[in-house]
Amino acid sequence: MKKLLEEIKSGQLKQVYILYGEEAYLRNQYKNRLKDALLAGGDAMNFHYFEGKNIRVGELIDLAQTMPFLAERRVILLENSGLFAHGGEELAEYLQDPCETAYFVFVEQTVDKRSRLYKAATAKGRAIEFAAQDETTLKRWILGILNKENKKITESDLNFFLDRTGPDMVNIRGELEKLLCYCMDKEVVTAQDIEAVCTRQMSSRIFDMINALAEKKQKKAMELYYDLLALREPPMRILFLIARQFNMLLQVKELRNKGYGVEDIGKKVGLAGFIVRKYAAQAAGFREDDLRRALTDCVETEEAVKTGRLDDVMSVELLIVKYSAAS
């Protein structure tokens, strides 16, 4: 990111950029900054935007070969094209010797670095990954936004806010805007304010449900399940998220038992460090065999619903009852 910022500031821009990674907020921010830098004065006439997987590569190449109108660049921005997974061979061939006035910006969640297109694109430009940010970076970013609005928050309440929002920066930014509006006349943001206006993420509710299972608090686990049903969450989606949580706990527990630290585990499973610590603490309430058995039960429960042997609402209830029952 540092090199990209330097190129934007200096105006010494590459002909091809790939912006990728799971952090959508940063991808979008840098996409817009790069677009503005490439299109001096907001030149809409020489800008072309394509989104989705039904892009016709021949059309892109024709555009790239067309000289820009009263400008030095023609900018082609492609978002979520999937061309780095398949279908990018023709464009890779073109990028070996593109028209010197054609500039490409690819914005993707994931890319295959082994693909011909990735290799051809990076040979002519630069790839920048926007990975999930760590806890320290997120806290610094949040505090920066609050400071600009002359707001303060304690460390414990900041942790509470992050627990509620999760590490996704798009969600954090949206929840911060709600919080700032709610606390317009206040100097200090409190846990009560966060509780009042910030939406709990589905993953947070599932986390609490699994905690209740680990602690054998059957009533609480069932209440959380009924709360999700009241919010019109489909039982099979809830089952999927429960299975995903058990799978993540198993991975974290296995890596922890092998001696991996929090940061290394985070890199391997794609989680922020503070989330790994929460998962490691939760995983301590289960044995590895229990987690494997729970995953098997989730698969069998889904199969029972699909074959009509169990009602979808009842199937998840039975799973919750089984893993929250006192030993």
- The domains of the chain, with CATH numbers, are 2-129 (3.40.50.300), 135-197 (1.10.8.60), 202-324 (1.20.272.10)
Q: Is the pLDDT of residue 233 over 70?
A: yes
Q: Is the pLDDT of residue 180 over 80?
A: yes
Look at 20-34, 142-156, 274-288 and tell me which has the smallest mean pLDDT: 274-288
Q: Is the pLDDT of residue 43 over 80?
A: no
**Average of per-residue pLDDT values in the chain:** 91
CA 35 vs CA 4, 50, 153: distances in Å: 12, 14, 35
- Written as one string, the DSSP assignment of 29-65 is HHHHHHHHHHSTT--GGGEEEEESS---HHHHHHHHH
Q: Which helix (H) or strand (E) holds 262?
A: helix 262-269
Q: Is 20 helix (H, G, I), strand (E, B) or coil?
A: strand
Q: What pLDDT shows up at residue 327? A: 64
CB 19 within 8 A of CB 128: yes
Residue-wise pLDDT for 103-133, tens only, equals 999 999 999 999 999 999 999 999 999 988 8
Burial 236-275 (b: 16+ CB within 10 A, else e): bebbebbbebbbbbbbbbebbeeebebeebbeebebbbbb
Closest CA to 239 of 323, 165, 163, 164: 323
CA 34 vs CA 5, 18, 104, 105, 106: distances in Å: 9, 11, 11, 8, 11
Structure tokens at 249: 């706990």
Measured CA to CA, the distance from residue 222 to residue 209 in angstroms comes to 8
Residue-wise pLDDT for 46-89, tens only, equals 999 999 988 999 999 999 999 988 888 999 999 999 999 988 99
Structure tokens at 66: 């067309």
Q: What does the pLDDT average to over 187-210?
A: 90
Residue 85 gets which letter from DSSP?
A: T
> What are the residues facing 141 on neighbouring strands?
none
Q: Residue ranges of the alpha helices (H) in 96-234? A: 116-124, 135-148, 155-165, 169-182, 191-197, 202-214, 218-230
pTM: 0.72
CB 78 within 8 A of CB 43: no
Please enumerate in sequence order all residues whose Cβ is within 8 A of that of 33, keeping only pairs 6 or more positions apart, or say none. Answer: 8
Q: What pLDDT shows up at residue 9? A: 87
CA 192 vs CA 144, 164, 195, 201: distances in Å: 21, 12, 5, 17
What is the identity of the amino acid at 295?
A: L
CA 144 to chain centre: 21
Q: What pLDDT shows up at residue 272? A: 76
